[in-house]
Amino acid sequence: MKWIGNVSQSPNVTAVWHTSKVATIEDAKVREVLVGSTGASSPDAQMPRVYNALLGTRFKVVTGYAGGAQINLAMERGEVEGRGTNTWPSYKATMPDAVREKKLVPLVQIGLKRDPDLADTPLLMELVAGDPRKEAVARFLSLTTAISRPLAAPPLVPAERVEVLRRAFDATMKDPAFLAEAEKLKLDVDPMGGSEVEAAVRQVLATPADVIARTQAALGDPSK
């Protein structure tokens, strides 16, 4: 594929409702935390399992919700304490009052950099720093999260045309009208250029087999 760019590299965030007795990721290591998910194979179930495997947290995933809105409502009702994962801009778009009133408590982020609003919420990569085996898994998952919203052209597109498309993408990401429309729609714009996406993809594809195996183990068996 010929990578054109990535509109947003927002990290995914696991958060709980303010009534939960868990307020930090460290609390989640000593208390069981019920988090909602749409299904056992979805990211909002996978990420809590990763945290349990790498950090020793005690997230318990409750699956079967029809979508994010239903999980949000379940948090407010007290059916679950939190949501397995979601981007912070999505939380802000779907639960603006809760975010503004600090009723939603972020515990951990997964991505290459912290969300600007969540300067005090740790990244998974930071929490496993110093353990090379865990760092490799966290790096792989963080990269795939950061480049999960890309634009690409087919493999045989000529290099000069790819360059034109990349320049057009970069210009669009800075266009005032585009940015105003994105803000109006509450869409996150935190772009990566085509060459940056390409470099990240190459890193992902070059991941050693043993790291892939450890990542699969951390993700867990969704049938259990």
Residue ranges of alpha helices (H) inside 18-158 are 43-55, 68-77, 88-94, 96-100, 124-127, 132-146
What is the spatial distance between Cα 169 and Cα 164, in angstroms, rounded to a whole number? 9
Q: Is 16 left (phi over 0), alpha (psi -120 to 50) or beta?
A: beta
For the chain, 224 residues long, give each residue's pLDDT as a single digit of tens. 999 999 998 899 999 999 999 999 999 999 999 999 999 889 999 999 999 999 999 999 999 999 999 999 999 999 999 999 999 988 988 899 999 999 999 999 999 999 999 999 999 999 999 999 999 999 999 999 999 889 999 999 999 999 999 999 999 999 999 999 998 888 889 999 999 999 999 999 999 999 999 999 999 876 66
Q: Are 91 and 15 in contact (CB under 8 A)?
A: yes
The β-bridge partners of 78 are none
The pLDDT value given to residue 224: 61
Pairing of strands 12-17, 104-110: antiparallel
* Domains assigned to the chain: 9-129 (3.40.190.10)
Which two structure tokens, joined as six digits, stand for 190?
């935190």
Pairing of strands 150-153, 82-87: unpaired
- Whole-model pTM: value is 0.89
